[in-house]
């Protein structure tokens, strides 16, 4: 979360609601280690990343739902083959993300 701290502080100072997604676990080959994080503000600004760009779009959608409901959630992204339209990692790994509001 270190890399996104200044963005989080700026958004907090602007009074924005924020959701933070963190990689907590990965299986197999993955681009980012546990602790990699990404934040989304209620007005859809984004800071940081949790993969090599494969799942960030889907994380924004999940994060906005976390802001809307106020409820934390775990989200898992696995391998996606080229035929499927589903969001996933092309590298063959699986990442587990924890998403929560920045209200602590």
> Sign of the CA dihedral 26, 68, 9, 39?
positive
Classify 76 as helix, strand or coil: strand
By C-beta, is 36 or 85 nearer to another protein?
36
Residue number, 6 or 44, with CB nearest to another protein: 6
Q: CA-to-CA distance for 64 and 25, rounded, in angstroms?
A: 22
Report DSSP state, residue 48: E
Site for another protein in 29-48 (CB under 8 A): 29-31, 33-35
Residues between 46 and 75 with contacts to another protein, criterion CB under 8 A: 72, 74
In the complex, the smallest distance separating the C-beta of residue 99 from another protein, rounded to whole angstroms, is 10
């Amino acid at each position: 979360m270190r890399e996104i701290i200044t963005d989080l502080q700026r958004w907090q100072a602007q009074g924005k609601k924020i959701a933070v997604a963190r990689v907590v676990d990965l299986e197999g080959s993955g681009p980012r280690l546990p602790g990699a994080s990404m934040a989304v503000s209620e007005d859809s600004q984004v800071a940081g990343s949790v993969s090599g760009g494969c799942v960030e779009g889907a994380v924004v959608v999940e994060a906005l739902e976390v802001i809307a409901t106020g409820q934390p959630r775990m989200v898992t992204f696995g391998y996606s083959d080229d035929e499927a339209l589903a969001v996933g990692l092309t590298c063959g790994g699986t990442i587990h993300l924890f998403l929560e509001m920045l209200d602590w």
